[in-house]
Amino acid sequence: MEDAPAELGQYLRPTLFLDSDHPTIVDFSRSVAAQHVSEVDRAVAFYYAVRDGIRYDPYRVDLRPEALRASSVLRGGYGFCIPKAILLAAAARAAGIPSRLGFADVKNHLATERLLQAMQTDVFAFHGYAELLLEGRWVKATPAFNASLCERFDVPPLEFDGREDSLFQQFNRRGHRYMEYVRDRGHYADVPLDELRAAFVEHYPALATASGYDLEGRFEEEAEGKIG
């Protein structure tokens, strides 16, 4: 375990975005974990509850603090990779499992034409996932794409067993290249909002001035239920 016990507190405390003490997050965490005894089993249950219970939507990106809070994500029922990772990490903290957020840039080799036109790049900056401290080691969990969505894109749903890292698949079922990690941006106890916004401006300058997106941060288009 790379963190000293005194440092683990930051990964258990509620934060602005991981509002793990919010009543709806507490209730969500308790209800999902109710039938599970071990921390690993609870973590796995949280993962699947977020992966499949919160719809992945890359077309409604809102970077306002109030929109990124775990309680807001749970209430809305949808989100792109970062909000879904936030919710997973908050649910884990509410259950006493240390958690943090990890970020990386990924190249999506199977991005839809619509999303490529909007983003003007196939590199997705600041892709977010959660890291949970289980059995003495940090384990990565990526709850972004719900199972039904993966099936439509012929990509095996990304599973999580609480012991091995759950990272994006490199290939789809046909052997075509899918996701490629190109830059590790590190891990954080809470959302580094200023860095996140700066990365979006750097990587998506067209979106920063388009009518459907602003730096308060949202796509106004309706989601089509497609993987980014």
Dump pLDDT digits (tens) for 37-48: 999 999 999 999
Inter-residue contact 174 to 110 (CB < 8 Å) = no
33 is a domain residue: yes
Which residue blocks in the chain are alpha helix, DSSP H? Answer: 23-33, 39-53, 65-68, 70-76, 81-94, 113-119, 147-152, 193-203, 205-209
In the chain, % of residues over pLDDT 70: 77
207 is a domain residue: no
- The pLDDT-based confidence of 178 (bands split at 50, 70, 90) is low
69 is a domain residue: yes
The residue range of the domain holding 141 is 5-192
CATH number assigned to the domain comprising residue 186: 3.10.620.30
- What is the average pLDDT across 40-63? 93
201 is a domain residue: no
- The pLDDT-based confidence of 210 (bands split at 50, 70, 90) is very low
Inter-residue contact 82 to 128 (CB < 8 Å) = yes
154 is a domain residue: yes
Neighbours of 138 (CB within 10 A): 18
Give one DSSP letter per residue of 37-95, joined into a string.
-SHHHHHHHHHHHHHHHSEE-TT----SHHHHSHHHHHHHTEE-HHHHHHHHHHHHHHT
65 is a domain residue: yes
Q: Can you give the pLDDT at residue 112?
A: 62
Q: Domains in the chain: how many in total?
A: 1
**pLDDT above 50 for 224:** no
Q: What share of the chain is helix, strand, coil (3-state, %, to 5)?
A: 40, 20, 45
63 is a domain residue: yes
- Cβ neighbors of 21 (< 8 A, separation 6 or more) are 14, 94
Per-residue model confidence as pLDDT tens digits over 73-129: 999 999 999 999 999 999 999 999 999 999 999 887 555 666 656 666 677 889 999
